[in-house]
Amino acid sequence: MSKPVTIALDAMGGDIGAGVVIPAAREYLRRDHETALILVGDDNILKKKLGPHPFGERLRIRHASQTVAMDELPSKALRNKKDSSMRVAIDLVKSGEANACVSAGNTGALMATSRFVLKTLPNIDRPAIITALPSVTGQTFMLDLGANVDCSAEHLVQFAVMGSETVAAVTDIANPKIGLLNIGQEEIKGNEQVKEAHELLLQSSLNYVGYVEGDDIYQGGTDVIVSDGFVGNIALKSSEGVAKMIRHFMTLEFKKNPLTKLAGLIAMPVLRAFRKRIDHRRYNGASLLGLRGIVIKSHGSADKLAFMNAISIARKEVSCDVPHRISEQVKTHLEKREIA
């Protein structure tokens, strides 16, 4: 039997920490028999919360004495928390003991620590954050979601290469369609970096389909949408905000009076099927791309199902060796540009 894939879990990260990570780990191992998980965090707490389990060596605990707070400054976490559950989980990836790690902790600290410990891949200047989002026709991947606020055209092109290769690796789309996020007005179309990136992408070997607008994210037709981290983060958060408001108003209307409550009861199976389609938990797990290792960020408020999904993403990226693929693709891309 070959060595199982091992994934390190930051068991103290996120709003709930071990209370979510342990149940998610147990349930995940019940479904996937070829993976081992390492729970990283306070030995005492984790042993007590974990209790007896049937997974043997597939579920181990690794002690880490510190925890990074959700609002801790990344630079402080990096300097002062060398034995944090987050840091130790990333160290396990660096040493090769784990093939990937998952954390629901502070995004800034996770990015800064991953970058410091693992380093970026050759020819990648900056890591970027990518995630899948639901769309009318399936799903759309989007990056960067907040790692980089000021991006040059060249950075945007690197994001496109990373996004293309990741999506080709983890989905069955061989040559993903890449779009560049822009606004639709003629002449004043795009800022300088976007215009320049557009020209570079047109010359690249990527399957670049051109500019897309904010609403295209959810309409399908593009597999990967590229933007700088400021714009990407705002697009993502605005979308979450609208979805939350819609849920709020729908609940409000169905709870208005006994008659509407009855209507809600009758419509329940339909509403449930509908909610399942856009269930954000099914999309939980954002990848930090461009590093010499696989790091997955789970949402801070992820529940068991959502955290399991983040573990699945890590597992998939390990089996496809996403960092290696990105590294090869970037090399090819650069070589082509030098010849051209």
Segment contacting a copy of itself by CB under 8 A, of 6-14, 18-26, 250-258, 290-298 = 250-258
Q: By C-beta, is 60 or 280 nearer to a copy of itself?
A: 280
Phi and psi at residue 144, to the nearest 5°: -90, 145
Residue from 43, 48, 266, 331 binding a copy of itself (CB under 8 A): 266
Contact track, a copy of itself, 26-65, x by CB under 8 A: ----------------------------------------
Question: Given the structure tokens 């990836």, which residue do they identify?
Answer: 93
x/- mask, a copy of itself, residues 86-115, rule CB under 8 A, reads ---------------------xx-------
Question: Side chain identity at 220, as an amino acid letter?
Answer: G
User: 90, 295 in Cβ contact below 8 A?
Assistant: yes
Integer Cα distance of 184 and 189 in angstroms:
6
Tell me which of 82, 173, 209, 213 binds a copy of itself, using CB under 8 A. 213
**Is there a contact between 118 and 294 (Cβ–Cβ < 8 Å)?**
no
If one asks whether residue 69 binds a copy of itself (CB under 8 A), the answer comes out as no
Rounded Cα distance between 237 and 201, Å, is 27
Q: Which amino acid is at 173?
A: I
The pair of structure tokens assigned to 26 is: 């147990």
Supply the angle between the helices 192-203 and 153-170 in degrees, to the nearest 10.
50
Terminal C-alpha separation, the chain: 47
In one letter, which amino acid is 268?
M
Residue 270 is a binding residue for a copy of itself (CB under 8 A): yes
Tokens of 39: 């729970």
The binder of a copy of itself chosen from 30, 31, 47, 244 (CB under 8 A) = 244
Name the one range near a copy of itself by CB under 8 A: 24-32, 91-99, 263-271, 287-295.
Answer: 263-271
Helix (H), strand (E) at residue 128:
strand 128-135
| Segment near a copy of itself (CB under 8 A); pick from 7-15, 91-99, 152-160, 222-230 | 222-230
- Restricting to residues 147-206, name those near a copy of itself by CB under 8 A: 147-150, 181, 183-188, 190-192
- Note the residues at the interface with a copy of itself (CB under 8 A): 71-75, 107-108, 134-136, 146-150, 181, 183-188, 190-192, 213-219, 227, 229-231, 233-246, 248-250, 253-254, 256, 260, 263-264, 266-267, 269-271, 273-274, 277-278
